[in-house]
Amino acid sequence: MVPEPTDRDTDFAALVRGHTAPLLRTCRRLLDDDSEAADAVQESFLSAYASLGTYRGDAKLSTWIHRIAVNACLMRLRRRAAFMASAETDDCDQALGSLLPSYSRTGHRREVQPAWTEAVDELAERRELCGRVRELVQSLPEPHRTVLVLRDLEELSTEETAALLGLRTNAVKTRLHRARQALRTMLERELIEGAA
Amino acid sequence: MSPLTCHEVIDFLGAYFDEELAPEVRARFDEHVAVCPACVAYIDGYRKTVALARRAAAREGEGEDEGEVPTGLIAAILAATHR
């Protein structure tokens, strides 16, 4: 005999239906793997269900489940060898290569591109460009992508990001800056090619 | 005090946006930017990059840009919690 669903089950089912899509987007951004992202979402909901009794209500339920999912992704990232190898050093900046600006011996810019003419609102209206921006974010090396996703897209603080990643706050700041610089370079190339 | 170079200005960008530059560094930063169109363009593009990344991520959840939820994922989650 199938038991009647409880209020808790009904509420949880609503949470799952309402939050699977946004959680999946976050997990895909962090893991860059659709299958693993789906696994992380499922694992997060199961973990949330098991600990619903400890949910204290001092954060929104959506925020709470979101943090569980971010943690699930980070656990998975920590298991990846490349992430572990680069977690505590900034050697990973080398992977960005030509995406970082170069300077003359006197510290001046070597290559100067004209200013971008379009405003953010205009750029954001271009659906294809937005899709391309998401692809470019995914193309960043994992240590940089992770920090950029947590800080700029998930809007966690530097301190929260550092705690989640086990990094010093200065390392988070440096890595975020490098990630933004690399993304800026790639986006500039897109805009120049698009205008040509 | 020597003026900042482009390299230093761009290295300070993160702290500049977080408003964490010490007042004397901020003054030298502003002095450089006032006379360096290359850095002005770089900073503008940097600011737009951060804003556009955020907007592009937000658009992914809107209507036609909605990311696909794999068939059966929601059912699988609900089934697993009712075992």
DSSP-H helix ranges across A79-106:
81-86
In angstroms, the separation between the Cα of residue B31 and the nearest Cα of chain A is 15
Q: B54 near B47, Cβ under 8 Å?
A: no
Nearest residue in A to B56, CA atom:
A130
In angstroms, the separation between the Cα of residue A36 and the nearest Cα of chain B is 12
The Cα–Cα gap between B50 and A181 comes to 10
Q: How do residues B25-75 score in pLDDT, each as one tens digit?
A: 999 999 999 999 999 999 999 999 999 999 999 988 776 555 578 888 999
Residue A11: pLDDT band with limits 50, 70, 90: confident
Nearest residue in A to B78, CA atom:
A13
Selecting from B14, B37, B39 the residue whose C-beta is nearest the C-beta of A173 gives: B14
Selecting from A12, A109, A153 the residue whose C-beta is nearest the C-beta of B54 gives: A153
Assessment of whether the complete model's pTM goes beyond 0.90: no
Burial B19-51 (b: 16+ CB within 10 A, else e): eebeeebeebbeebbeebebbebbbebbbbbbb
Give contacts of B49 with chain A, Cβ < 8 Å. 180, 183-184, 187
pLDDT at A7: 67
Task: Provide ipTM, 2 decimals.
Answer: 0.87
Q: Select from A155, A135, A137 the least CA-distant residue to A70.
A: A155
The Cα–Cα gap between B83 and B80 comes to 6
Q: Tokens 């050697």 label which residue?
A: A91
The Cα–Cα gap between A178 and A194 comes to 24
A28 reaches B (C-beta below 8 A): yes
A43 reaches B (C-beta below 8 A): no
A109 versus B1: the higher-pLDDT residue is: A109
Any bridge partners for residue A109, and if so which?
Answer: A103
The Cα–Cα gap between A138 and A144 comes to 10
A25 reaches B (C-beta below 8 A): yes
Q: Stretch A95-103: mean pLDDT, rounded? A: 83
Residues 6+ apart with CB under 8 A from A156: A70, A150, A164
Q: Select from A151, A12, A19 the least CA-distant residue to B61.
A: A19
